[in-house]
Amino acid sequence: MTQPVSNCPNCGAKIVFQWSSSVQTVCTYCKSILVRIDVDLKKVGQVADLPPDSSPIQLNTEGIYHNKAFVVAGRILYEYEQGGWNEWHIVMNDGTSAWLSDAQNEFAVSFAVPGQSLPTASQIQVGQQYTWKNQTYTVTVITEAHYKGVEGELPFQYWDKTDVTFVDLRSQTGKFATLDYSDEQPALYLGEFVEFDDLKLKNLRQFEGW
């Protein structure tokens, strides 16, 4: 995999992209949010310190999903009234990108699925059913979340959010869907729940006393 190298326009530190298609990254030194425009990097903002969280996953955690190795390249951290969760941006060894979400140690892997017809946020109610790609999903929860920050590389620009709406749907076969209403155009992610042990994660975070 190519690893484009450039320098932070803010502090000059070396910026290495793990994934050639990353659109945004955060300088690990000065915490500038950098967006790639052609070959140049442009500073668009600055991340405040991320609130402490206790996901066992961190940047550069490695794992295996469906026989493909992946590495954690970035994340978005959200909070809602029942706690926080992380959407870890993972990059597969075949160059595709996906999301490993960790909500109170419930892990799921999902992929962006563009080109589907999606309901608007106001149309959605718990218990409704939607079918995408021949799989029926039931709306289980609508979450009003607060964007808390980003870290590492992301496949899109994402940094100046506040409140965002997510709709979680589940199937009867371990599959799940998320509708993300943080942009004008809703985005659909389809995936499945995964067992922690099945991901064979390496380079995990350490916990004091564990």
Positions in the binding site for other proteins (CB under 8 A): 11, 13-14, 28-29, 51-54, 56, 58, 81-84, 104-106, 126, 138, 140-141, 170-174, 193, 196, 204-210
| CA–CA dist 17, 97 (Å, integer) | 13
- DSSP for 66-130 reads TTEEEEEEEEEEEEETTEEEEEEEEEETTS-EEEEEEETTEEEEEEE--S-----GGG--TT-EE
Left if phi > 0, otherwise alpha if psi is -120 to 50, otherwise beta: which for 31? left
Exposed (0-12), middle (13-18) or buried (19+): which is 193, by Cβ within 10 Å?
A: middle
